Structure 1
Amino acid sequence: FAMGVPVFVIPAPLVAAAGLSLYYESRLLRDYLIFMAGAAAASVWFVHHHFWFLEIELGGLSVRDLCKLMLGMLLPALTVPGLVISNSSHHLVSLLLSVQAAMVAFVEEHLFAGPHGEEEMYPAYMVLATSLFGMTVAHRMKSAGKLSSWGAWVCHSCYASKLSMLAVPEAYMVRPVLLFALAVSAPLVLYPDSTAGLIGAHHRRAKLKPWQGILHAAMVVLTVVAGRFAVFDVIQWVTSSQPSEAVAAGGLLLASGIGCLPLVQSTSTTPTTPRRGTPSSGSARSRRCCSS
């Protein structure tokens, strides 16, 4: 009642508390869903009652849309712990965390980089903290087998890409940087090194067919072209001047070339050096000739 909660909303937190206590005893996903329903109902009422009616914009994003995104990010936060403890499908966990990471990057960019006058709406250290926390959690969950490889890949890409807003906030670079990061790192994730950890083995990744290599290279080029304005903003930020047409074209070519380096690495072979003390066939043959 101290928060102005009406009587019809009071059962929601009570149901959430009861469901959580039941889940603590039974470890059944059914009881966790009861907790989720109560917590979600209480959260929806709180956001709707205190913020939904505000007719203002934050960084080009209305408060009503921001509330929808916040509630959307709350759903994976409520769902994932129960799925992980219940040993549910790690692909479902990966999907929820990937969607949440993309929504976090989108919301933070509008709160941090949007025009807020002289006041700071969202501090830079929060962008850095959420990025480091998200990448750490994704790495540990992948190591524990709770998160799939593609889920960790998407989460790492989202949380790493949103650090770009710290460089040029007004450029809104998170979306093009994220697409570029996904296109560049896709070959390393889709074609992992199958000989990793084997002593004395050639480090060879899966052999790509010609159409696969062309497709990956085309995706890199398309993401560079789609994010060309972000490339221009980076060049202008580095040189402190408006880039000429030649410099802009060179920047696009350089970004495309750098983006194709992981594709080349995914098909390369690293030969191992011969072990010491192992005579080659030629040296053994020469010693036999000398002894005769």
Structure 2
Amino acid sequence: MSLKSFCKFIITNVVLSMAIPGLAILPSKLHFLTEVGLISHALLLCYIENRFFNYSSIYYYGFEDEVMYPSYMVVVTTFVGLALVRILSVDHRIGPKAAWILTCLYSSKLAMLLITSKSVVWMSAVLLLAISPPVLLYKDKSRTASKMKAWQGYAHAAVVALSVWFCRETIFEALQWWNGRSPSDGLLLGFCILSMGLACIPIVALHFSHVLSAKRSLVLVVATGLLFILMQPPIPLSLTYRSDMIRAARQSADDISIYGFMATKPTWPSWLLILAILLTLAAVTSIIPIKYMVELRAFYSIAMGIALGVYISAEYFLQAAVLHALIVVTMVCATVFVVFTHFPSASSTKVLPWVFALLVALFPVTYLLEGQVRIKNFLGDSGFGDMGDEEKNLTTLLAVEGARTSLLGLYAAIFMLIALEIKFELASLMREKAHERGGIKHNQSGQSSSSSFPPRMRFMQQRRSSTVATFTIKRMAAEGAWMPAVGNVATVMCFAICLILNVNLTGGSNRAIFFLAPILLLLNQDSDFVAGFGDKQRYFPVTVVISAYLVVTALYSIWEDIWHGNAGWGLQIGGPDWLFAIKNLALLILTFPSHILFNRFVWSYQKQSDWMPLLTLPLNLPSVIITDVLKIRILGLLGIIYSLAQTLISRQQFISGLKYI
């Protein structure tokens, strides 16, 4: 900015400042002149401060260390302007629309302190002018309904979208400043969509909070933006941002000179994951009415399975092409089972057990086929016994183990999801059955007094009692009896796979069993599974599995410590390994009584003698103090905790029973 132009702007601003007080005392019909003067003054002030603050060619006496316009001046002029707008608005010197425009203009100057961009003031002003009308212009508190009409809401949302698109270069510069390099197209588009969603929150929250579809659409838009930010999918060239500045930043060679050429993997599968998540959100929020249309439900579940299967295959098993079909079929079976278990149809109860059986059968086939195919391909390419190919052999074996571990994790997640879904459905059915029994008892108690009702009221009472939902319970008893068994199989398989993963990944961690055992809480009451197992015994599998796992791993640790690959002199009577084994086995056996008593108590919850748990408690002290195996020490500590817990629970049951005597 030249000195001549600077003087012109300053003089114009001073003239406006002197004229506005005179315009303010004019009659109310001429208050628009005051508003025009204030808006012109604010625009000119924003322009001058933007030129002073963001353009580095103006310095005080040519010294570049001292900027002519410091940051605190921006803050002072901003808050002074906002205070004057507030005072004039309260005194009715200016209208609400002028106050809205002035508030946005003065507030937009603060963006200069956060983002170093020459156009950030005007972009911020545009965004504030688009976002703030639902907050500042619709203040009719006397109306309980929506203060904004539907077409106004759509218009404001469209203006917000256009303003965010208009400010895309500023968003690009902000992301570039934050990341230190040019953001990807997916990241930029994600932030634009997220900004649109967040900017529409005042519209929905203040004016359409009673409209459920508006809330669902807003959640879907925000979720889409977050998914684009996290996944950063590739954007086709036809959807570029039509910006010379962004195009110039894309063509810069700085990234290559700094970071070099980096190997890239295909990113198109991220579109499939985004599609699957958005379909799930649309179904959960009832935007897609899969609850009421069986055909749409089937199409939705198959589409979800295909999208997830192709994504997993392309992202994690790209080199094993033969597994792609099996993984896609597995995911389709899983999604069909989960969707139709949650929203059953007339024939789904007969088909779903076979779908689960196919899913279980695919697990070993996929697991074994993955390694066999890779090793066979490797053997066909090169000789396995060549010494020069040892590194390649090791790489192939590691790839096979890694792929198999990924498959185990995938199937563990699938079986966990199925077990959770069945547990949820069975709990819902039990609540419905309890509600039905309560309704029947209520109807039976009301029959004695129904004779005093008028005939019309008696008919209404009978009709209301006949509307109790009994179809689901009867259908469950007739055709859905497979659900507890399927849930138990899924739970056991998930737990077993997690144990295998624990051994493969951590070498059999002691702490892992305390996190994995609660999976067995998903077991359901099933007489075919364990006789007498019910809701009262739901904690028994957890405690008994922890005890059994620690005992087995303790025995394995003892055997591993004394066995050195052959039956050497260490196993002879009197040798050090023999003494080690005898001592630790004896200490391990000393922990059994406490665990046996506590597991029996958890199964039956019957009060036993108070002295029995306390009598077995000292047996665990030697195992804690003098053992050489960590797992035996953990068993001893658990035995002490079990004995104390059993004593306290029995005492509490005794005290609770005395209250009813």
Tell me if structure 1 keeps the 8 A contact 2:123–2:170: yes
Using the alignment, how far apart are the partners of 1:141 and 1:134 within structure 2? 11
- CA deviations on 1:245-289 (whole Å, 9 max, x unpaired) are 21111111111111112222342358xxxxxxxxxxxxxxxxxxx
User: Given the superposition, is the C-alpha separation of residues 233 and 171 from structure 1 closer, same or farther in structure 2, using an over 3 Å criterion?
Assistant: farther
User: Given the superposition, is the C-alpha separation of residues 121 and 172 from structure 1 closer, same or farther in structure 2, using an over 3 Å criterion?
Assistant: farther
- CA deviations on 1:9-68 (whole Å, 9 max, x unpaired) are xxxxxxxxxxxxxxxxxxxxxxxxxxxxxxxxxxxxxxxxxxxxxxxxxxxx23333233
Using the alignment, how far apart are the partners of 1:98 and 1:248 within structure 2? 33
Does 2:103 match 1:163? no
Bigger radius of gyration, 1 or 2? Answer: 2
Give the structure 1 partner of residue 124 of structure 2.
177
Query: What's the CA shift for 1:183?
Result: 0.8
Give the structure 2 partner of residue 193 of structure 1.
140
User: Given the superposition, is the C-alpha separation of residues 205 and 101 from structure 1 closer, same or farther in structure 2, using an over 3 Å criterion?
Assistant: farther
Amino acid at match of 1:114: Y
Residue ranges of structure 2 left out of the alignment (5+ in a row): 58-63, 211-661
Tell me if structure 2 keeps the 8 A contact 1:98–1:155: yes
Amino acid at match of 2:52: L
Does 2:154 match 1:214? yes
Give the structure 1 partner of residue 35 of structure 2.
94
- CA deviations on 1:170-197 (whole Å, 9 max, x unpaired) are 44300111011001112333432332xx
Using the alignment, how far apart are the partners of 1:100 and 1:142 within structure 2? 17
Using the alignment, how far apart are the partners of 2:162 and 2:42 within structure 1? 23
Alignment of 1:75-154 (within 5 A): 75-88=15-28, 89-116=30-57, 117-154=64-101
Of 176, 187, 192, 1:236 maps to: 176
Using the alignment, how far apart are the partners of 2:14 and 2:104 within structure 1? 21
Give the structure 2 partner of residue 249 of structure 1.
189
Using the alignment, how far apart are the partners of 1:227 and 1:162 within structure 2? 16
- CA deviations on 1:216-264 (whole Å, 9 max, x unpaired) are 1121111111111111122233334432221111111111111112222
User: Given the superposition, is the C-alpha separation of residues 132 and 245 from structure 1 closer, same or farther in structure 2, using an over 3 Å criterion?
Assistant: same
Q: Percent same amino acid at aligned positions?
A: 29
Q: TM-score, normalised by structure 1?
A: 0.64
Using the alignment, how far apart are the partners of 1:121 and 1:85 within structure 2? 36
Of 5, 10, 13, 1:70 maps to: 10
Amino acid at match of 2:10: M
User: Given the superposition, is the C-alpha separation of residues 168 and 145 from structure 1 closer, same or farther in structure 2, using an over 3 Å criterion?
Assistant: same
Using the alignment, how far apart are the partners of 2:69 and 2:178 within structure 1? 25
Q: Note the aligned Cα RMSD (angstroms).
A: 2.4
Higher relative contact order (CA 8 A, sep 6+): 1
User: Which sits farther off after the overlay, 94-103 or 237-246?
Assistant: 237-246
3-state secondary structure, aligned to 1:169: coil
Using the alignment, how far apart are the partners of 1:205 and 1:130 within structure 2? 36
Give the structure 2 partner of residue 273 of structure 1.
none
- CA deviations on 1:62-114 (whole Å, 9 max, x unpaired) are 33332332232223211111122345533221121111111111110110110
3-state secondary structure, aligned to 1:206: coil
Amino acid at match of 1:93: T
Give the structure 1 partner of residue 305 of structure 2.
none
Query: What's the CA shift for 1:205?
Result: 4.1
Amino acid at match of 1:103: L
Using the alignment, how far apart are the partners of 2:83 and 2:107 within structure 1? 11
Amino acid at match of 1:206: K
User: Given the superposition, is the C-alpha separation of residues 112 and 216 from structure 1 closer, same or farther in structure 2, using an over 3 Å criterion?
Assistant: same
Tell me if structure 1 keeps the 8 A contact 2:140–2:147: yes
Residue ranges of structure 1 left out of the alignment (5+ in a row): 1-60, 196-200, 271-292
Tell me if structure 2 keeps the 8 A contact 1:101–1:155: yes
Give the structure 1 partner of residue 207 of structure 2.
267
Tell me if structure 1 keeps the 8 A contact 2:147–2:207: yes
Amino acid at match of 1:222: L
Using the alignment, how far apart are the partners of 1:269 and 1:254 within structure 2? 20
Amino acid at match of 1:177: S
Q: Which has the higher helix share?
A: 2
